[in-house]
Each structure stands twice: as C-alpha cells, then as structure tokens.
C-alpha cells in the first residue's frame, strides 16, 4: 500500500546571501539549518509476528546529485521497546527505490525511522544541501521458506495495522558545532496517510514457487530446509554470502553448478558459479 510522502533535510530553511548584501546578517540569523527525518509508528494488530517491507521511492535527481539520493545518505532504524536496531537499506548509487525489512511481533508497536546520515563534516558545513524527498510504500512480502516451497505468503487475509507517519526535526544554532550551546528548536508534524485513515489493512503477497528444472530439484533435495535469516531480510551481499554457504553442500559437477547459477539468477543475485 502507498503510505505517505517523506522528506529528509540537512539544509538552511531559507537561502543565505553573501555578507556584502544589505541585510544578509539578519537573514542568516533566521535561516538556520534544519535536520529533518521521517518517523513511522506502526502497530501490528494481528495475533502473529509479521515481517514488513518499507520501500522509499525518491524523486530522480536531474542532473545526478549525491545530495538528492538515499544512497550513503540515510540510516533506517527500528525500535520496538528498547534500543534502536539498524535495518539494511537496499539500493545502489543510481537507484530510485530503496527498501528494508523489519519483523514486528504480534500486538507490538514499533517506531521506524529514516534519518539523514550525520557526520561532523556535514554538521560543520554552514550551508549544507542535503534534500531528499519521495513517497513510502508498505508491503507484507511473501518470505522464502525453503527450496521446494519457495516464497510463502505470511497470511491468508490482509493484516490490520495502525499507522502514524511523521516528520521530526531540529533547527541548529548558527554557531553549532563550534559551540555546543544555543537554541535547538524542534519540529514535529503528522503527514497525511494515503488511505486517509490510521487503521489500515496490508494485503499479503501471494505464495510463489521458484521455477527450477528437475536437475536442480534433485541437487538441492539434500540441502537444509531452513534458510538463514540473511537470505530473507539481508542485503544483496548478505544474501549472496548466505547462498554461497549453502552451495558448500553441493556436489560440484558442471550440471549442478549451472543449475545453482540459474537459481541465483532467479533470486536476482548476479553471480555465476563455475569450477576452475
């Protein structure tokens, strides 16, 4: 389901002018830098644990601009009732879609946060220009169970959730971080939900098999049926590493290796295996 818009900022809230421009000092005094992130409060109203996927679709920078993409500029975190836990945010340097998975126990509420990745260099810049906006999609993905069953739907019916998306941020004093005192004002406002309501139902993705040939079926029959969590929720690199570990259980005949390469391709992992 389409959830809401989002916007990340590390940027002055108004244009600044050179010191030679009359009145520039007064303008600079109010054109403070804003640090702004996206927060989603989500409650799982079902009686079983569920794994959700959040997808952030950004406006494509034109021309390409490293300050207009989530790549290397954002952290995705989740907090249920303790410390923040990092979520792997997939998406490359030219991507316009970035996604992450998180598991939410039955009856629990989580805070999911997409925050600008801060550094001392960025905070020391008097005129930073990080500005990323787009929209958010929430899905209930089918999860990979094992080779024979493929991807299995998490539910037979839509999952009920409560949703509250927000923007939260801070205005930095103009002399920060040279001095650590000053006026740190806060901003916090709710975003419109696409459905127009807080109580929503997320349709589950249907089960789907992995279409594989008879050779691969025989080869993988003796592999472990429980797939490592990295294959379900990991980054592409973690998924590849997990599959390489499973590959150690195979007989390295040319037919088996080719079949395994076909499986990697079907899982959208660009690795071709061969014996040298």
40-63 per-position pLDDT tens digit: 999 999 999 999 999 999 998 888
pLDDT digits (tens, 9 = 90+) for 16-33: 666 666 666 666 667 788
Determine the average pLDDT of the residues in 190-208: 96
Give the list of residues 6+ apart from residue 20 with CB closer than 8 angstroms, or none: none
What is the rounded CA–CA span in Å between residue 179 and residue 126?
13
Alpha-carbon distances, residue 263 vs 96, 164, 269 (angstroms): 26, 39, 9
Orientation of helix 236-247 relative to helix 254-266, angle to 10°: 160
pLDDT digits (tens, 9 = 90+) for 91-125: 888 899 999 999 999 999 999 999 999 999 999 99
What end-to-end distance do the CA atoms of the chain give, in Å?
47
Contact in structure between 34 and 18 (CB atoms under 8 Å): no
| Alpha helices (H) along 173-228 | 214-220
Q: What's the pLDDT at 148?
A: 72
Question: Which residue from 4, 43, 9 is spatially nearest to 195, judged by alpha carbons?
Answer: 4
Between 24 and 193, name the one with better pLDDT: 193
pTM of the predicted model, to two decimals? 0.75
DSSP of 20-59: TSTTHHHHHHH--EEEEEEEEEEEE-SSS-EEEEEEEEEP
Alpha-carbon distances, residue 66 vs 69, 90, 129, 130 (angstroms): 6, 16, 10, 8
> Is residue 254 classed exposed, middle or buried when 0-12, 13-18 and 19+ CB atoms within 10 A define those classes?
exposed
List, in sequence order, every beta strand (DSSP E) within 30-152.
Answer: 33-44, 50-58, 74-79, 85-87, 97-104, 109-116, 130-139, 143-146, 150-152
Alpha-carbon distances, residue 91 vs 21, 70, 73 (angstroms): 42, 8, 12
pLDDT digits (tens, 9 = 90+) for 118-171: 999 999 998 999 999 999 999 999 988 776 777 899 999 999 999 999 999 998
pLDDT digits (tens, 9 = 90+) for 225-264: 444 455 555 555 555 555 555 555 455 566 666 666 666 6
């Amino acid at each position: 389901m389409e959830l809401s818009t989002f916007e990340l900022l590390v940027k002055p809230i108004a244009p600044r002018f050179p010191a030679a421009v009359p009145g520039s000092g007064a303008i600079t005094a109010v054109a403070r830098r804003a640090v702004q992130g996206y927060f989603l409060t989500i409650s799982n109203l079902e009686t079983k644990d569920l794994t959700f996927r959040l997808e952030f679709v950004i406006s494509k920078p034109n021309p390409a601009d490293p300050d207009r993409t989530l790549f290397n500029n954002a952290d995705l975190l989740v907090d249920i009732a303790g410390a923040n836990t990092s979520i792997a945010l997939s998406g490359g340097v030219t991507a316009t879609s970035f996604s992450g998975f998180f598991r939410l126990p039955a009856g629990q509420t989580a805070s999911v946060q997409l925050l600008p990745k801060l550094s001392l260099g960025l905070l020391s810049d008097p005129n930073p220009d990080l500005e990323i906006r787009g929209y958010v999609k929430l899905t209930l993905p089918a999860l990979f169970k094992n080779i024979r069953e493929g991807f299995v739907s998490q539910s037979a019916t839509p999952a009920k959730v409560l949703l509250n998306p927000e923007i939260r941020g801070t205005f930095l004093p103009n002399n920060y971080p040279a001095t650590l005192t000053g006026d740190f004002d806060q901003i916090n406002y709710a975003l419109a939900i696409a459905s127009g309501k807080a109580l929503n139902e997320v349709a589950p993705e249907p089960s789907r098999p992995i279409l594989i040939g008879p050779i691969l079926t025989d080869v993988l029959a003796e592999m472990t049926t429980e797939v490592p969590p990295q294959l379900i929720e990991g980054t592409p690199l973690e998924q590849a590493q997990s599959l390489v570990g499973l590959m150690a259980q195979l007989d390295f005949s040319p037919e088996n290796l080719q079949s395994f390469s076909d499986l990697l391709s079907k899982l959208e992992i660009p690795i071709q295996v061969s014996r040298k």
